[in-house]
Structure 1
């Protein structure tokens, strides 16, 4: 943490009730150590959990938000703004592109009052894009320009204001909370435990699974708790204990549920489309039959009169 930020920082203090509220809402599933880390970082950087400037994701760890990083930069007293542009596949720097297929990356310029030149930080789109695996368009598919700009800005803010170790959720498929290069572990056994946790941790996928469950439940009018319990029953463990393979299996199961619901919708559409013309045809046929019967009876009647 830079000295200027430390000088202007006012330590956050919370009552016991608020601490319990933070743990139940923004740090659900965290261990005592992880929750203590969240509180320590919130105090050190003057971040507000209630504004979601800092939070915890199961399987990933303590993260800050994009707004949280900007908040830290503002309170330093040296913030002079930033400019973020999309890099096209021809190397041009533009604010937006008309075709998302033309995104090569993003570049962020950070300006400080005590610098003559801005810090420049660029990132590759292909290194960070995270396509949805559920059949629903995810954030990277719906607003890729916004997402890659956030990643560029997060990296630039870390470098400009000495915020190593503070990452945003959008980066977490690339970075992990348990970064071996940044850990200061003395005991070899403790290091082995950390590395094992790193390899088995599902990173941001668990949060994405939660998001997919919410989307599925909303679209098909299901209860989120029921869907979550169904997945837990299929996998054989509670969701907060899912590893990467468990999450992949859960996503496949969710895909199957989506296909079943889509099939039901198609069946309904088929019934609606088919019923109307069949009924209309039947009505026309009945009228035609009635007309023919009336003509036949009329002819038969005329025949009798002729006899």
Structure 2
């Protein structure tokens, strides 16, 4: 077995370890054939730090097309399910409950270069984090995430249980934002009914699976936290917000105070870290 994949004692941030027998079983039974040792080492590192066990099917390793230096290559990447996010949130001791609802709403869609409104099912999830004064809320529409087969029809569960599936997407995204699970997507978000049926999924609501990196950026912008709520959330953490415009007049907020051991919370609030100046910032 490669030196990259060895039995380890817990490292900084590791929540789970694997024995040599576990690693051999994972490599033979739970890792795609043809995957290289570097991809496997990365996937296992994510599993260790998230506390998810591939043998218990709490995390999966899936081949996916990724663009690197302008070329499409296949890489093995970690993938979870909504229940995996719930497990991690409960294990943190910071989950104070969540609520999911759905309703029929008029939502905007862009077709043939024009915006129009359609009636759609929209799921809303509110996650209550003990460190936040207000819940983290996410709304998602069925048409954006429904898994479609190559013939354009919904996959089995998206056709038979559309409400269940879109609610799982909302819950996955709300839990990610509340707890900072940025290293993982869930298979529900990518249009699959379950991890085993990726082969039949052509795209998710019109978006190719290989374009999921662009989806992540859009999701961060999609549900911005208000300036007032942001200041309140930082105040709860004992931090302040210094606001200044750049040369173009765009306002940015800089975190003021001791941010030690608050990385996940700041990420969940939408802040980004600038290593050269060691500053947490956000565009307002």
TM-score calculated relative to the size of structure 1: 0.48
Work out whether residues 147 and 154 of structure 2, in 8 Å CA contact, stay in contact via their aligned partners in 1: no
TM alignment of 1:47-126, pairs within 5 A: 47-59=52-64, 61-89=77-105, 103-126=120-143
- 2:243 — aligned with what? none
CA spacing shift, 1:109–1:16, aligned 2, 3 Å: same
Pick aligned residue for 1:149 from 146, 167, 173: 167
Asked if 1:32 is matched to 2:37, the reply is: yes
Matched, 1:171 2:175: no
Map of 2:206 onto structure 1: none
Asked if 1:22 is matched to 2:26, the reply is yes
For residues 170-209 of structure 1, the aligned pairs below 5 Å read 170-172=188-190, 207-209=197-199
Matched with 2:147 is: 130
Q: CA deviation at 1:102?
A: 6.8
When structure 1 is superposed on structure 2, of 14-23 and 131-140 the one drifting more is 131-140
3-state SS, counterpart of residue 147 of structure 2 = coil
C-alpha contact 2:147 2:190 (8 A) present in aligned 1: no
The alignment partner of 1:123 has SS state of strand
Q: 1:58: how far off?
A: 2.2
Q: Is the 8 A contact 1:28 1:56 kept in 2?
A: yes
Whether contact under 8 Å (1:128, 1:171) holds in the other structure is: yes
Helix, strand or coil for the counterpart of 1:87?
Answer: strand
Q: Shift of residue 210 of structure 1?
A: 6.7
Specify whether residues 103 and 42 from structure 1 end up closer, same or farther in structure 2 by C-alpha distance, changes over 3 A only. same
**Alignment coverage as a number of residue pairs:** 171
Deviation at 1:207, TM superposition (A): 4.2
12, 16, 25: which one aligns with 1:12: 16
Shift of 1:136: 8.8
Q: SS at 1:58's partner residue?
A: strand
What is the Cα deviation at residue 133 of structure 1? 3.9
Structure 2: gaps (5+ residues): 1-11, 66-76, 108-117, 202-208, 211-284
Distance 2:80 2:61 in 1: 9
Contact 1:38 1:62 in 2 (8 A): yes
Residues 51 and 102 (structure 1 numbering): CA distance in 2 closer, same or farther, change over 3 Å? farther
Q: Hey, what's the Cα distance between the residues in 2 that align with 1:45 and 1:33? A: 18
3-state SS, counterpart of residue 12 of structure 1: coil
Unpaired stretches in structure 1, ≥5 consecutive residues? 1-7, 92-100, 175-203, 212-242, 245-307
Contact 1:38 1:54 in 2 (8 A): no
Larger radius of gyration: 1
